[in-house]
Structure 1
């Protein structure tokens, strides 16, 4: 685990809020001059604390009105079965999150789709065609109460 001081944490919070902030504006916000601030940002990147910079898109503005949480149970939980499943879904753009779980289900996916018909197509043409899947349970999100990609700093 990387040790972070108060200034590092301020830098991370500011970058999570706006990764397009100028170095000068970031430095002003954390009470540093631009050069030391830039060095700290570069060090955070080198240590892997900052892994990448992204644009966060609005799901509904893109016409993706349906979020589905899909619980997957595999027939077997051998390492090669888990790897085969993970590899298969890795390229599916509809799957925006995937977690290997403890408990009754093996995987939890978050899938986005334009509508119920698009989700049904995804289910029939992709998910149900995977070998080794014992059960699929879909839960539809009615409303997103909170979403954040920002981690606590």
Structure 2
């Protein structure tokens, strides 16, 4: 990966446009940026090579997939050594219902975002997977009632 360079206003506009629609062609990007298709395509390739664009992904509708319960789970570990943290991280990586996880400052050690089919599935995740794990001392869950803003683009 090349060393990143400073983003100019055209790069910022390109990144903003791609966050809204990753399917934009070089021609469409060129029209948005007032560049030729080849110039827009080269800029996109450079931003990919420099790591500004990590990947292109499809955002799926959880309701259509039968994942009607979204929640956040705060996890508190029993102890905080590197081995305990790695054991918990391995568990998190193996569970498909945990879609993202963060280490946190404050009272909780981790914050997990989870999607489950229903409340019994969430209950199983909490009581049969997370709580029995030897590094976990307690969990606290919050169920999402409504999402006011979907995961949005990063500010550019």
**Structure-1-length-normalised TM-score:** 0.95
Q: What is the distance in 2 between the residues matched to 1:34 and 1:54?
A: 23
- The reply to whether residue 130 of structure 1 matches residue 128 of structure 2 is no
Q: What is the distance in 1 between the residues matched to 2:38 and 2:155?
A: 26
Give the aligned partner of residue 107 of structure 1: 110
RMSD between aligned residues:
1.2
**Structure-2-length-normalised TM-score:** 0.93
Give the aligned partner of residue 144 of structure 2: 141
Give the aligned partner of residue 64 of structure 2: 61
**Aligned length in residues:** 153
Q: Which runs of 5+ in 1 are unaligned?
A: none
Runs of 4+ with >3 A deviation: none
Q: What is the distance in 2 between the residues matched to 1:26 and 1:40?
A: 10
2:131 counterpart SS class: helix
Give the aligned partner of residue 94 of structure 2: 91
Shift of 1:2: 4.6
Q: Which runs of 5+ in 2 are unaligned?
A: none
Q: What is the distance in 2 between the residues matched to 1:56 and 1:150?
A: 12
